[in-house]
Amino acid sequence: MKLLLDSTRCHGYGLCQEPAPELIELDEWGYAQVRPAEVSHGDEDAAEAAVAACPNSALRLEK
């Protein structure tokens, strides 16, 4: 499973980072950056929560 970010849709709210700090970091302006594109089996729930938390649908999971 891959966590993908469409940076053009990210508005820098930072809501996605709270449920998945091991997968997403925020730059100095609050915009998301996906750390590892591949999501390990143990981090799948956190990745799904991060996708759900984004109000602009900037994140998506690809299987």
Q: What is the CATH number of domain 2-62?
A: 3.30.70.20
Contacts 24+ apart (CB under 8 A), 5-9: 5/32, 5/33, 5/34, 5/58, 5/59, 6/57, 6/58, 6/59, 6/60, 7/31, 7/32, 7/58, 9/56, 9/57, 9/58
Question: What is the pLDDT, as a whole number, of residue 37?
Answer: 72
Question: What is the pLDDT, as a whole number, of residue 36?
Answer: 75
Question: What is the pLDDT, as a whole number, of residue 35?
Answer: 85
Residue 26, Ramachandran bin (φ over 0: left; ψ between -120 and 50: alpha; else beta): beta
Mean pLDDT by 10 residues, the chain (63 residues): 96 96 95 89 96 97 93
Domain boundaries, given as residue ranges, for the chain = 2-62
* Contact call for residues 26 and 32 (beta carbons, < 8 A): yes
